[in-house]
Amino acid sequence: MAAPTRAPMMEAALDQLCINTIRTLSMDAIQRADSGHPGTPMALAPVAYTLWQRVLRFDPDDPIWPNRDRFVLSNGHASMLLYSLLHLASVRAVNPKYETLGRLAVTLNDIETFRELGSKCPGHPEYRWTSGVETTTGPLGQGVATSVGMAIARQWMAHYFNRPGYPLFDYDVYALCGDGCLMEGISHEAASLAGHLKLSNLCWIYDNNHITIEGPTALASSDDVATRFISYGWNVTRVGDANDLELLSRAFEVFQNTGDRPTLIIVDSHIGYGAPHKQDTAAAHGEPLGEEEVRAVKRFYGWPEDAHFLVPDGVREWFAAGIGARGKALRNAWFALVERYRADYPDLADHLTRMQHRELPEGWDHDLPTFPADPTGIASRDASAEVLNTIAKNVPWLIGGAADLAPSTKTRLTFAGAGDFEAGSYAGRNVHFGIREHAMAAILNGLALCKVRPYGAGFLIFTDYARGAIRLSALMEIPVIFIWTHDSISLGQDGPTHQPIEQLASFRAMPGMLVIRPCDANEVVEAWRTIMPLKRQPAMLVLSRQALPTLDRATYAPAAGLAKGAYVLADPPSGDPDVILIGSGSEVALCVAAYEQLIAEGIAARVVSMPSWELFEAQDRTYRDAVLPPAITARVAVEEASTFGWAHYVGAEGTILGMTTFGSSAPLAALQQKFGFTADHIVAAAKAQVMRVRGKA
């Protein structure tokens, strides 16, 4: 790539000027914020610069071009490294409607207000908030694990969309990480799966600087990282000096020429200047260097000591001549290719457009089943299996799997042609994540970020092993579908280690997460009908292992009420109710049985099915008051889970029949008797509520 005509500067001098600009912008921003991590941006500036300027296929004018290479800064505390690159490369902002805006994604003012309210440069990179940030990173290990999902997405999309002469998807995924990421267990899970799947489009760049916050890595780790990754089936190469741009370029070429496995590039660096220095300790501990040390560093770089946030002449132009020109040419060629593709493969082109905009095919739900009334019923996990397979046939980019529990969660796609996603056979839509709940959830995030629609499954109790990545699904507002089964103590004899208690309450407390616990097979259908159109919200279906009666919807209200989160399932034959029974999931059938007893005894009762608190709270006050009239304070909520949060719906004097302890190992009937989940117990609680209210009258 020819340099811009700003001579007599040589290319090497321009490279170094750009690298030092990244370093000094990072230092200045962190110093002004009096907060942040200066060491890694300073040490890894040559690595990130080489990747962006010489290798990365990325158009700063269109940072959401679908076939762009992905760059993930997994060690998100080094965020100023990425923000400096985004600014110097003149990456443009993109709004949620996929319209590229004229302004910069990161302005110099954003850098000057690093970590301040409203800045596009928060402490850790945040997807949606800052264009050019491919995924939210911060919790260590999340970025590298998410990058595996991005790599899987490319392999699947290439097999679905690519045709002879039309290589629509061939992007690579690069993730920059450090010791923190590689120590976290999620990276072990993700790296193991990536090696097993032979994801040759995946490259992790490991900053081997021998230091963490507490001190030398030798305090807590003696891993042989290279041997570890070789055992995973990765190609491992090494760059002995992070400042050697030619060796770095050669390492990236090795990755690009490796076609049968992912690549780990181990880069030896010194945190801070890029060379050993007394400031290494402060930099490693995530502290600003201090004004005097900043001046000393700038002297070391040959930088004006009193200059702040300086971008010298020629820097932006050099980036524009490198990544800017290369990215624009590649992006324009890709869209020209798509136009020709649209003429030759109109149906696939339509799918591509819909997938990229998170839209569904026409008629995606036209053949969803309706389940007949059945007192014996069907487990909601089994009903979900039928619905999932019906939808997946209509939505080709719906792919996923389970953490080795597909036979139990009923999440395997079984229709003809579904297939398995395996090494060397990337067309399949059943992904086998293995017993790796945390990596599974992060990989789902990576798939969703590339616009594939992913689902993942497991037992509800094991969400504790995946919570960090699940939380990022909500934080990033991406439409991942989680399917959690074995939803209550009613799973029985596996006992309290497998019986979820507090999990429902914790996910209901998570901002942006849609939790749906359907009461029967037809509510399952409506749950899927509700979550599939979501574009900016993750959702979880919480399903039963045991059979649930399929309610007679000619007698009780239609299951379509699920879309509003809660609805009146049954009312007294006449007049207002004396007491309201509220339940979710399997406990709704118990409420219905109690309702029948109460009506037979002349007590006016209402049953409210409440599968989703979040959907209910999204309704207007008129609707919510119609379902739960404020004047009716005699209320009983029933759920085989923690009682936490139910007081909001039953009031200070209502009754909550739930769990305040862990469960027990016993058959279902014995558990229901022990913990009071019976129709008789609900009837008794309802009568007590009615007496309480009448006593005050």
| DSSP H or E stretch at residue 175 | strand 173-177
362 CB-contact burial (10 Å; exposed 0-12 / middle 13-18 / buried 19+): exposed
* SS3 annotation, 621-655: HHHHHHHCCCCCCCEEEEEEEECCCCHHHHCCCCE
For the sheet containing 567-570, what is the strand order? 567-570, 605-609, 579-583, 635-642, 655-659
Beta bridge pairs of residue 75 = none
DSSP 8-state assignment for residue 217: G
Q: Do residues 65 and 57 touch, judged by C-beta distance below 8 A?
A: no
Name residue, tokens 């003809």: 416
How many other CB atoms are there within 10 angstroms of residue 96's CB atom?
9
* SS3 annotation, 521-546: HHHHHHHHHHHCCCCCCCEEEECCCC
Q: Do residues 23 and 301 touch, judged by C-beta distance below 8 A?
A: yes
Which residues, 6 or more positions from 627, have their beta carbon under 8 angstroms from its beta carbon? 566, 567, 568, 608, 616
Helix (H, G, I), strand (E, B) or coil at 225: helix
Annotated catalytic residues are 437
Q: Do residues 678 and 514 touch, judged by C-beta distance below 8 A?
A: no
Which residues, 6 or more positions from 414, have their beta carbon under 8 angstroms from its beta carbon? 389
How many other CB atoms are there within 10 angstroms of residue 589's CB atom?
21
